[in-house]
Amino acid sequence: MFTNEEYKDIENKILNGERLSREDGIRLFHCKDIAWLGAMADYVRKKKCGDIVYYNVNCHVNLTNICTSRCKFCAFGRDEDMPGAYAMTVEQAKDVVRDAMKDPNLAGLHVVSGLHPTWSFDDYLKILQDIHDEFPNLYLKGFTGVEITHFSKISGLSIKEVLEKLMGAGLQAIAGGGAEILSDRIRNELCPNKATADQWLEVARTAHLMGLKTNASMLYGHIETLEERVDHLLKLRDLQDETGGFQTFICFPFLPKNTELGKTIKQTSMWDDLRTMAISRLMLDNFQNIKAYWVMLTVPVAQVALGFGANDIDGTIHKETILHDAGATSPTALREDTIIDIIREAGRIPAACDCNFNILRKF
Amino acid sequence: MRYTEKQGIEMLTSGDPIALGREANAIREKLFGNTVTFIVDRNINYTNVCKNECKFCAFFRRKESKDAYLLTIEEILQKVQETVDAGGTQVMIQGGLYPDLGLEYYENMLRSIREKFPSIVIHSFTATEIQYFAQQAGISIEDCLKRLQYAGLSSLPGGGAEILVDEVRKRVSPKKIMTEDWLHVMETAHKIGMESTATMVIGFGETMAQRIEHMEKIRQLQDKTGGFRAFISWTFQPGNTELGGEKTSGWDYMRNLAVSRLYMDNIPHIQGSWVTQGERIGQLTLGFGGDDLGSIMLEENVVRAAGTAYEMSINKMVDMIKGAGREAAQRDTKYNIIRRF
């Protein structure tokens, strides 16, 4: 019943488990049959992942919003002297975690922050180490390829040495942010002051070779072309072929509010969000997990995205700030029972996991 | 071939929303091609005083309450004037069940609007109100509707249907009219040439069988009268927003919407409710069998600010429709297309 005559050749490839080409990817972005795209992605998801949907009981910790990068798509980063700028002390960071610990099911932390102009790598490292010392049972996922490139630059250490130190301080997985679109045309335009496409990929490659898993992401819906979205996915797919170290892929639609770029660009439609989710699942045939990040998508859309190829819905978060600065209309946290309900209503099996997709509890 | 009640229940219970959506979308496409419609109109709530006190309603007040209100005819005419100024073609006047106004109050309201604004279509009063007006006046539903029709009432909105199963209604709105009453008002209206829409509110803890019972009753009456122009559904969601933000579920709504298109094969228009489900889910309904997005909802302050704000609203609606790869068109109450974008 899912046949789409115009896309019969691609459909056959998908049903036969064959890899899709760049041209296939571009054609899929021009497909108007959203339900067919969803059905194809859902077919692949079911075959590959079964009915389990992963989520985390987690807490986001953003150590500082003071950032030298000042990307045009960001509403979180600030200069040091701007209103609302903050930089946490170790104690303040611990207070955030202590507050989140009121939830007895809290399993871990997601730590991502601005590139602070005067903090040394040791400053970041010390906070991580201190948090780990006080909360040894919480898993620690954090720092994006952008932050790690920055640490290497300011410390004079190699990427490998930076990662070794972070792992020594308790880091168990690297966050997927900062990939944006892995194209230097776009990065020069939107975020020239941070890791290039190759640098971002190099951090992931290095981490994977050391046995440290990372996530991957795509920030879309700004100045990129549809071809550039496909090329981005292919870069991730190529590296995954090489290392197998990516755990999940996260689609981030650009949220324009309060950003420099948002003055001229409107937010993506739900239609675009769902087709991008589905096409990501179809193109990234070597990724096990595709995340529907409810903070950006909104909760109802994230739930529907579970039918468009996603098998991961992120977590309870405790208090999201980065995207709410950019006008996200979703709540800043979700209760675990709400997450369980929305997964169940979609006919799936909720499973709480750690930052490496080990199942902690299943319902 | 028509779906049976058993099949309907199966679709709602275990159907894959995406598969159902695609099937519903194919039917929509056959009927309406690539066009998605919307209307420019205004809701006017003439009073918030209501003797019904339904458990899911946050709008009603008791007559003696401090913030209880009843609009004067002049205030209503002013609101209609603003609607006309903003390019609206319809007003939807609804209110609580205000004791002792007399049918003349409503007749006078309708006549005044029609005299001053002959081009505005008055799509107003739910079945609940109609039954109450008739009761208060001591006349039959048919006589009541005929008098209102004569005074200028064009069609009836489908509100107040909730779930057309008395077991559910007794639980959530015990004082409101029961299933047979709602259906009787609609049947009578259709008989005198007054068309209407039909609605459904899901999420009252009703069973899937009760939802199909609701759809079946509407389908049967439509077979008999053909007077329903459209079907509109939305969700009731209590309390799960304590952390702020939006509703959490999209799955159930999308599946129910697709099934409503598939099951009620004799209702032409299926409207996605962006007002209640949010713009993003609203847009998605267009891929799941919906062919209409209802009103752009001229808000009080937006209407007052006129011009720009109003254009923004139409632009937003058109963007939403075009974002789904469809052609946007403004319609009138009878679903005639009056402007394409």
For residue A4, give the amino acid letter: N
Q: Is B66 helix (H, G, I), strand (E, B) or coil?
A: coil
CA distance linking residue B323 with residue A268, whole number of Å: 8
> Which structural domains are found in chain B, ordered by start?
5-41+100-110+127-144+158-340 (3.20.20.70)
Return the ∠ at Cα B175 (arms to B169 and B180), rounded to 5°. 55
**Which range, A232-246, A292-306, A310-324, A333-347, is most confident?**
A232-246
Question: What's the whole-number mean pLDDT along residues B98-124?
Answer: 95
CA distance linking residue B20 with residue B258, whole number of Å: 6
Q: Do A39 and B287 touch (CB under 8 A)?
A: no
Q: Closest residue of B to A297, CA-based?
A: B280
Confidence of residue B304 (pLDDT cuts 50, 70, 90): low
Assess contact for A215 and A173: CB atoms under 8 A.
yes
What pLDDT shows up at residue B276? Answer: 82
Enter the tokens of residue A321.
């700030």
CA distance linking residue B241 with residue B232, whole number of Å: 23
Alpha helices for chain B (secondary structure H): 5-14, 17-32, 73-85, 103-116, 127-137, 141-151, 166-172, 179-191, 208-225, 251-263, 274-277, 279-284, 300-305, 307-323
Assess contact for B268 and B13: CB atoms under 8 A.
no
Architecture of domain A5-362: Alpha-Beta Barrel (3.20)
Answer whether residue A182 shows pLDDT above 80: yes
CA distance linking residue A66 with residue A71, whole number of Å: 12
Q: Do A298 and B320 touch (CB under 8 A)?
A: no
What lies within 8 Å, CB to CB, of B217 at 6+ separation is B164, B179, B183
Answer whether residue B55 shows pLDDT above 80: no
Kindly list the distances between the CA atom of residue B5 and the CA atoms of A43, A241, A279, B12, B96, in Å, as whole numbers in the listed order: 28, 50, 36, 11, 34
Could you read off the pLDDT of B113-171 as tens digits, one per residue? 999 999 999 999 999 999 999 999 999 999 999 999 999 999 999 998 999 999 999 98
Threshold 0.90, pTM exceeds = no
Strand-pairing partners, residue A249, are A216, A290
CA distance linking residue A291 with residue A37, whole number of Å: 17
Q: Do A301 and B281 touch (CB under 8 A)?
A: yes
What lies within 8 Å, CB to CB, of B86 at 6+ separation is B40, B42, B298, B303, B306, B310
- From chain B residues 256-295, the ones with a CB under 8 A of any chain A CB are 277-281, 283-284, 287-288
Question: What's the whole-number mean pLDDT along residues A60-82?
Answer: 96
Out of B251, B277, B281, closest to residue A346 by CB: B251
What's the sign of the alpha-carbon dihedral B151, B155, B158, B164? positive
Which chain A residues have any C-beta within 8 angstroms of a chain B C-beta? 1-2, 32-36, 38-39, 42, 266, 269-274, 298-301, 303-304, 306-308, 329-335, 338, 341-342, 345-347
What pLDDT shows up at residue B244? Answer: 40
Confidence of residue A331 (pLDDT cuts 50, 70, 90): confident
Alpha helices for B159-250 (secondary structure H): 166-172, 179-191, 208-225
Has the ipTM of the complex gone over 0.85? no
CA distance linking residue B130 with residue B135, whole number of Å: 9
| Domain range summary for chain A, segments of one domain joined by + | 5-362
